[in-house]
Amino acid sequence: MQDVEFINGLIDFIKNSPTPFHAVETMAKILDRHGFVELDEAEQWSISDRQPEGRYYVIRNDSSIIAFQLNQSLPENGMRMVGAHTDSPCLQVKPNPEIVNNNYLQLGVEVYGGALLNPWFDRDLSLAGRVSYLDDSGAIDSQLINMEKAVAIIPSLAIHLDREANESRCINKQTDLPPVLMKMPKTDAEGTAKADFKEILLKIINADIETGDAVRVLDYELSFYDVQPPAVIGLHDDFIASARLDNLLSCYTGLMAMLDDDRRQNTLLICTDHEEVGSMSAAGAQGTFLKSVLERLCQGDENISRMIANSVMISADNAHGIHPNYADKHDKNHGPILNDGPVLKVNTNQRYASNSQTGALFKHLCELADVPVQSFVVRTDMACGSTIGPITAGEIGVKTVDVGVPTFAMHSIRELAGRWDAYYLYRVLKQFFN
Ligand SMILES: [Zn+2]
């Protein structure tokens, strides 16, 4: 795949994936087009290591996905695995969200993950996620929704009303964040109409589903997102600016590498939800999803132990590029530069799973793919972030290396990456899968 096609595909992928649910749906559609067969965790699987061929994918909780291709005996050849995560920090709508203040309808929100909150102000926001409803036969069903148009905004307080804003404004998550959705219509002299968010959702659901038989909205997981689409920017088109680069960039890159591999190895891509809140959930990397899929593919403890011992995982999640305005936040010898290649992430306290052997493998893969490679180690006097690498390595015992493309503004509503780094990473992962 050429660079331009790759970057346009990445832009479309992120645009179509405002939530982990949509990211998984978008990936499943791409996998369907490439002949992958969906397996249902609740059904009997007929594949095993005795019948080692085929392309499959499995979804859990609509928000995590494992895709794999079997081409050789699993215990003897193991799996070449790539891991990433589908979730990003955001504002999630509360269960009883309606707030009416001065005739404005606002929605109460919880902060999901370690969001950088300042950039959420003065953005054109839309809403997307999963809604569960009761249909007219009494069954509970779920539907993904994406309002697409800008339906809300969190306006800043003007500087005239807070002269210290540039020096010391801080954000109260409870009171400063509820987005404004609309002006409430006046019903009569006494007051305004009552807002019912679930009624609004019911109309959207019934317009979305063919049967139109939703009777009542029971529950939902909805988050706000910025409607501004991703863009290649910079005087020389050096950068890609977008929401959710952490970590949809790695999901997309892993997926493209898998689709383009030469189908000689056993390969697997796992993209899980809830990394931003620690991965401890049924669908998260600390849950049973990967373990359960591998156990079903390799029947018997002996087989699975051999398979894992013969496997390697590349855990791909973005790294912090050295920011020119804040260069002292990095160790001078380990400050990754945007567009100078993917980053090998190392931490002796095992916040990253890389060791000298898996690191060497990654560096060698970069050499083979003719791609530059950089290293990141956090400043010794600062705390280190983490990712799914150590969790997956700890849960299933697979040799793992943590890597990722360098970015600025991680966890902002609009992050920045080098437009070449994603393509470099794609080439390395393709090399790995082959
Ligand atoms: Zn991440």
| Three-class SS state of 13 | helix
**Above 90 in pLDDT, residue 43?**
yes
Region of poorest pLDDT, from 131-135, 386-390, 423-427: 386-390
CA 244 – ligand 1 centroid, Å? 9
pLDDT digits (tens, 9 = 90+) for 355-382: 999 999 999 999 999 999 999 989 999 9
CA 318 – ligand 1 centroid, Å? 6
Return the pLDDT at 51: 54
Query: How far apart, in Å, are the Cα atoms of 222 and each of 149, 198, 216?
Result: 15, 12, 16
CA 388 – ligand 1 centroid, Å? 8
CA 84 – ligand 1 centroid, Å? 8
| Three-class SS state of 396 | helix
DSSP 156: P
Query: How far apart, in Å, are the Cα atoms of 404 and each of 44, 357, 373, 375?
Result: 36, 18, 10, 10
Say how far apart CA 83 and CA 429 lie, in whole Å: 11
| Three-class SS state of 250 | helix
Phi, psi (rounded to 5 degrees) for 131: -125, 130
What are the residues facing 216 on neighbouring strands?
A: 134
Query: What value does the mean pLDDT of the chain take?
Result: 94
Residue 23 confidence class, pLDDT cut points 50, 70, 90:
very high
| Three-class SS state of 154 | coil
**Above 80 in pLDDT, residue 50?**
no
CA 320 – ligand 1 centroid, Å? 11
What is the pTM assigned to this prediction?
0.96
Say how far apart CA 329 and CA 320 lie, in whole Å: 10
Pairing outcome for strands 191-192 and 186-188: antiparallel
Say how far apart CA 388 and CA 105 lie, in whole Å: 38
CA 209 – ligand 1 centroid, Å? 33
CA 386 – ligand 1 centroid, Å? 8
CA 296 – ligand 1 centroid, Å? 28
CA 249 – ligand 1 centroid, Å? 10
CA 433 – ligand 1 centroid, Å? 22
CA 14 – ligand 1 centroid, Å? 14
Region of poorest pLDDT, from 99-108, 145-154, 205-214, 400-409: 205-214
Could you tell me which residue, 195 or 417, shows the higher pLDDT?
Answer: 417
To the nearest 10 degrees (0 to 180), the angle between helices 245-259 and 3-15 is 130
CA 82 – ligand 1 centroid, Å? 14
% of the chain exceeding 70 in pLDDT: 97
CA 410 – ligand 1 centroid, Å? 8
CA quadruple 166, 167, 172, 173: dihedral sign:
positive
pLDDT digits (tens, 9 = 90+) for 191-250: 666 889 999 999 999 988 887 789 999 999 999 999 999 999 999 999 999 999 999 999
- Radius of gyration (Cα) for the chain, nearest Å? 23
Using left for φ > 0, alpha for ψ between -120 and 50, and beta otherwise, residue 137 falls in alpha
CA 133 – ligand 1 centroid, Å? 31
CA 387 – ligand 1 centroid, Å? 6
**Above 70 in pLDDT, residue 21?**
yes
CA 204 – ligand 1 centroid, Å? 31
CA 86 – ligand 1 centroid, Å? 9
Return the pLDDT at 190: 62
**Around Cβ 72, how many Cβ atoms within 10 Å?**
15
Q: Which amino acid is at 251?
A: C
% of the chain exceeding 90 in pLDDT: 87
Return the pLDDT at 168: 92
The residue among 202, 216, 197, 212 whose CA lies nearest residue 140 is 216
**Above 60 in pLDDT, residue 49?**
no
CA 274 – ligand 1 centroid, Å? 10
Under a CB-based contact definition with an 8 Å cutoff, are residues 419 and 235 in contact? no
Half-sphere exposure of 427 (CA within 13 A, CB side): 20
Return the pLDDT at 85: 98
Say how far apart CA 41 and CA 287 lie, in whole Å: 14
CA 156 – ligand 1 centroid, Å? 27
CA 116 – ligand 1 centroid, Å? 13
Return the pLDDT at 211: 77
**Above 80 in pLDDT, residue 422?**
yes
**Above 70 in pLDDT, residue 189?**
no
CA 317 – ligand 1 centroid, Å? 5
Say how far apart CA 184 and CA 199 lie, in whole Å: 15
CA 248 – ligand 1 centroid, Å? 9
**Around Cβ 361, how many Cβ atoms within 10 Å?**
17
